[in-house]
Structure 1
Amino acid sequence: MRFTEALSSLVAVAALAQGQLTKVNDFNAGPTKLGMYVSVPKNLKTPAPIVVAVHHCQGSATGYSGSTRYVQLSSQYGFIAIYPNSKSGGGCFDVASAATLTHNGGGDSQTIANMVKYAVDKYGGDPNRVFAVGTSSGAMMTNVLVATYPDVFKAGSVYSGVPAGCFSVPGSTATQDPPGWANSCANGQLIKTAQQWGDQVRNMYPGFNGTRPRLQIFHGTADNTLRYPNYNEQLKQWSNVLGLSNPKTSNNTPKSGWTQSIYGEGTATTAQLVGYSANGVGHSVPQQEAMDLAFFGITN
């Protein structure tokens, strides 16, 4: 090993020990060429929860780690934070191809699921406490992850996304750059019944009969990128998948202008499905890291 390579390895090891974000150079599980960045603090719980944080279009793993607080919080609470990095020129993740919308289908969703498996094997991650959170394209991917890999992810937190499969583009491939874009979905014009949306999720992993992940969904009423009707379509989808109805609604919760909807039994941190409509908020809703970790059961 050359001196520069040895020095680079030492720097990476030191960054891991301090809970800083570092690139995992030996992750090559694929099937797509996403970059894997992690924060593995020295005070890890045994085994350690895993939070996968997925960035937006025109973003990056390092940029998203700088605009969110999961790296700092991983050091505080002893969990592993994984930040996937898009392979596309525009920084978007593939949520459009049949490959990524199919369990073990060979798309970006499978690559991210493989990052989790890597973290379980390499760092002592807890396979029973794996969670996803994302913004915009990352929010769309979070919905796709919990739909295609309900055996891997136990809960997700979605910031300004669309229903799983809403961006499906016939003919789109896992290697396409940029990934497919679905205007009708982005504009909130793709309206389906709850049953149709639910079937779309179930068809992503036919035969799965385990416990479905819990979901927390945020959306702003003034979103002009992934328009507001997508909020209700997501709630329709996941309430059908989870077999829930008749949400309990609270105005000005948890802050002025926000409306909270809790589906099923439990509180905002324990229910299977919780929605937050943010009045007057555009694209995208600001990150609520404390709410995410509480919903994931990491801080409560």
Structure 2
Amino acid sequence: MLRSWYLKSRLLGVLLAVVAAIGVSLPAASRAAAASLTQITNFGNNPTGLQMNLYVPNSAKANAPILLALHGCQGSGPYLYSSTDFGSLADQYGFIVIYPSTNPGGSCWDVSSNQALTRNGGSDPVGLMSMITYTEQHYGGNPNAVYVTGESSGGMMTNVMLADYPDVFKAGSAFMGVPYHCFYTNSVRGWNGPCAGGQVSMTPQQWGDLVRSADPGYTGPRPRVQLWHGTADTTLNYNNLAEETKQWTNVLGASQTPTSSDTPVANWNRTRYANSSGITQVEAYSVVGAGHQLPIQGTQMAAYAIHFLGLDGSGGGGTTGGGTGALHAVGAGKCLDDPNSTTTLGTQQQIYSCSGAANQTWTHNSSNELTTTVGGTTLCLDANAKGTVNGTKAIVYSCNGQTNQQWNLNANGTVTGVQSGLCLDVSGAATANGSLVQLWTCNGQSNQQWTLG
């Protein structure tokens, strides 16, 4: 049966062969030994008898953000904790993670019934909301900084929670999911074969209307959405990524065509969809060759998710600008510097001892530009002559809105050109004052690592 086939499909481990297939081999983040997963009982209204496990890192901030992390079929909260990097990222950045488990254990989430697909309608979403409220009341979680992520059935439930409770969540990241309401069967934990097989297609307006029907009358701001899918997924067909993208771009008033695209990691094709203000609302990752096992532990997938959500302190993946300050060259311990505060167009940029001066102050704005203002003149960091080859000079030039002046500040510390996909690089890994800055193929070295602010 399709249902049992789907349950069996959720892998209990990550295959190294798949890691190799998508071209990523970064080391796993190390988990700090201190805090542990804690089971919580009697957390409030829980119509389906869900179980709640909570991870509060020793580094938890006052008024800490909350991440709701949802497992897939045959999984559990503790399994998701041990098989993904969200816990170690919580150690690093001080946010709280809720790891729920379905009832009966190992079952899929209810994303198919009328109760689940309606705000406060009952079923699993009500219990999940009780966990969030409990965490806010008993662990000091910040009600204005609540986020959700999930894999497979948990990716489906991520979309459901964003639709049912748009006022609760600031953003969500769904791995290997399907659009909200795509799995509807009018039964609890039903299986929808056509949706799983990628055979359900609607217009953006139709998909968007379904989301709006989950909480009729709601007119407030809605959470930004990040979506992930492997091109070789045989459990939940890859076509679902395009349908999810249509749905959320419609709901969020974003462009139906990508406003930028790049490949931040080999075989990760990323597209972004901005609203009329130039702010990214939807971000989609197509992972070439990957099957039904995202996010792959030990890669940067979870880190890219929490960067988009803003849980690493970035403000949300550069989607709201990313901030203003010095752009620090990590390997050299110096700052990106406009030589002698020049306004001469075409001047190649350098690194220099950090001084806090205007010629070392950069703003990453909602148009993905990196700008500096010297002598009353605002200039953009620019790939010289629209170059896309190694050694292209990083210069300053009059801002013109073209893609050779657009830069992604990535979760792994790289700054990549939207047009070229190349990394901002200190030439020759030099560390001396006056060392020149260029574009180069991303290689993971410290001379390509940058922090803003």
Corresponding residue for residue 147 of structure 1: 163
1:46 aligns with 2:62: yes
Residues in 2 aligned to 1:201 and 1:52: alpha-carbon distance in whole angstroms: 20
Instruction: Kindly provide the amino acid, as one letter, of the partner of residue 199 in structure 1.
Output: D
Q: Deviations over 1:256-276 (max 9, x none)?
A: 22211110059xxx7211001
Contact 2:295 2:302 (C-alpha < 8 Å) held by counterparts = no
> How far, CA to CA, are the matches of 2:130 and 2:203 in structure 1?
32
Kindly indicate whether the alpha-carbon contact (under 8 Å) linking 2:76 and 2:106 is maintained by their aligned counterparts in 1.
no
Match in the other structure for 1:290: 303
Higher relative contact order (CA 8 A, sep 6+): 1
Is the CA contact (8 Å cut-off) linking 1:131 and 1:156 kept in structure 2?
Answer: yes
Structure 2 partner of 1:98 = 114
Report the 3-state secondary structure (helix = DSSP H, G, I; strand = E; otherwise coil) of the residue aligned with 1:272: strand
Residue identity matched to 1:263: Y
CA displacement, residues 32-81 of structure 1 (integer Å, 9 cap, x when unaligned):
21100001123321211001110010101111100012222222211110
Partner of 2:403 in structure 1? none
> In 2, are the aligned partners of 1:102 and 1:205 still within 8 Å (CA)?
yes
Inter-partner Cα distance in structure 2 for 1:242 and 1:265: 8
How far apart in 2 are the matches of 1:258 and 1:39?
Answer: 29
Please give the secondary structure, in 2, of the residue aligned with 1:75: helix
Map Cα deviations across residues 198-233 of structure 1 (whole Å, 9 max, x no partner).
000000000111110010000111111000110000
Cα distance between partner residues in 2 of 1:234 and 1:284: 18
The residue that corresponds to 1:133 in the other structure is 149
Q: Which residue of 2 aligns with 1:158?
A: 174
- The one-letter amino acid paired with 1:114 is S
Match of 1:257 among 249, 267, 270: 267
Q: Indicate the residue corresponding to 1:11 in structure 2.
A: none
Shift of 1:160: 0.6
> Are 1:183 and 2:193 matched, yes or no?
yes
Cα 1:265/1:199, change in 2 over 3 Å: closer
Q: Which residue of 2 aligns with 1:118?
A: 134
Alignment of 1:1-300 (within 5 A): 18-170=34-186, 172-173=187-188, 179-245=189-255, 246-251=257-262, 253-264=263-274, 271-287=280-296, 288-299=301-312, 300=314
What is the aligned-residue identity percentage? 48
- 1-structure distance, mates of 2:88, 2:106: 27
Q: What SS class does the counterpart of residue 106 from structure 1 fall into?
A: coil
State the Cα RMSD in Å: 1.8
The TM-score normalised by the length of structure 2 is: 0.59
Tell me the TM-score normalized by structure 1: 0.88
1:152–1:285 distance in 2 versus 1, CA, 3 Å: same
Which has the larger share of strand? 2
Q: Secondary structure of 1:125's match? A: coil
Distance in structure 1 (CA, Å) of the matches to 2:100 and 2:218: 25
Aligned 8 A contact 2:45 2:126 in 1: no
Specify the structure having the higher radius of gyration (Cα): 2
CA–CA separation in structure 1 for the residues paired with 2:129 and 2:168: 7
Task: Provide runs of 4+ in structure 1 moved above 4 Å.
Answer: none
Structure holding more helix per residue: 1
